[in-house]
């Protein structure tokens, strides 16, 4: 193999590893196979075709909490980064992390609170739910105590009720909360 072909293969393998989040070193395995069988460019083309564009897994959390007066509510954050606006705390699931671990981590990062997960509520997958790219979000119901503090991606933080929440909300969080409040009448969380 010559230099330019080898660089292209290595770059493609590393790119595939980054996209898929795999920790294995595809390049070493692939290079061994190429040395023994040949056909490097054919393998590169096949790999390009095999790479698929997949939705990103995310979590959002409806965190039930009492305000300073002891009244029940839930937490919303005002996002620092686009798309801006008020939203449920949440974010991307990291490679090697469960949905539950991601929910606990994101809640702590954005609200400074340790939460207790109560239930997995629903999964939302409309390709247009996030204007940046296709995400699939699993929603959790949780509870917390203490005073939330805006951190990480949160510019502001607040405790709201069904009637005091700001409108509109970012992403599809208006729909999520509407579904939650409708379902809450028949399901206990």
Above 50 in pLDDT, residue 6?
A: no
Q: Which two tokens stand for residue 56?
A: 């990103």
Please give the model's pTM, rounded to 2 decimal places.
0.73
Q: What is the pLDDT of residues 132-177, one digit of tens each?
A: 999 999 999 999 999 999 999 899 999 999 999 999 999 999 999 9
Query: Quick check: is 156 catalytic?
Result: yes
DSSP state string for 21-72? T--S-HHHHHHHHHHHH--HHHHHHHHHHH----PEEEEEEEEEEE-TTS-E
Phi and psi angles of residue 159, each rounded to the nearest 5 degrees, phi first = -110, 125
DSSP 169: B
Q: Sign of the C-alpha dihedral, residues 159, 162, 165, 169? A: positive
Q: What's the pLDDT tens digit per position in 85-134?
A: 999 999 999 999 999 999 999 999 999 999 999 999 999 999 999 999 99
Query: Which single residue is written with the structure tokens 């929440």?
Result: 165
From the candidates 9, 24, 156, 174, which is the catalytic residue? Answer: 156
| Cα dihedral value 62, 63, 66, 68, nearest 10 | -110
Check residue 9 and give its pLDDT: 53
pLDDT tens across 24-57, in order?
555 555 555 555 555 666 666 666 666 678 999 9
Of 3.40.50.1110, 3.90.79.10, 3.40.50.300, 3.90.1150.10, the CATH number of 56-184 is: 3.90.79.10
Residue 76 has pLDDT above 50, yes or no: yes
The pairing of beta strand 72-79 with beta strand 56-66 = antiparallel
């Amino acid at each position: 193999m010559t230099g330019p072909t080898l660089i292209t293969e290595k770059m493609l393998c590393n790119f595939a590893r980054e996209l898929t989040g795999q920790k294995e070193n595809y390049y070493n395995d692939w290079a061994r196979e190429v040395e023994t069988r040949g056909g490097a460019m054919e393998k590169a083309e096949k790999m390009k075709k095999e790479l698929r564009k997949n939705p990103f897994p995310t979590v959002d959390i409806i965190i039930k909490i009492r305000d300073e007066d002891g009244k029940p509510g839930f937490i919303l954050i005002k996002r620092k980064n686009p798309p801006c606006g008020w939203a449920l705390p949440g974010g991307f699931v990291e490679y090697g992390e469960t949905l539950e671990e991601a929910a606990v981590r994101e809640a702590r990062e954005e609200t400074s609170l340790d939460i207790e997960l109560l239930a997995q509520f629903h999964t939302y997958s409309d390709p247009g739910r996030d204007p940046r790219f296709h995400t699939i979000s699993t929603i959790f119901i949780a509870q917390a105590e203490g005073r939330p503090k805006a951190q990480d991606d949160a510019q502001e933080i607040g405790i709201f009720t069904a009637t005091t929440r700001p409108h509109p909300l970012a992403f599809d969080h208006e729909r999520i909360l509407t579904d939650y409040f409708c379902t809450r009448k028949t399901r206990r969380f």
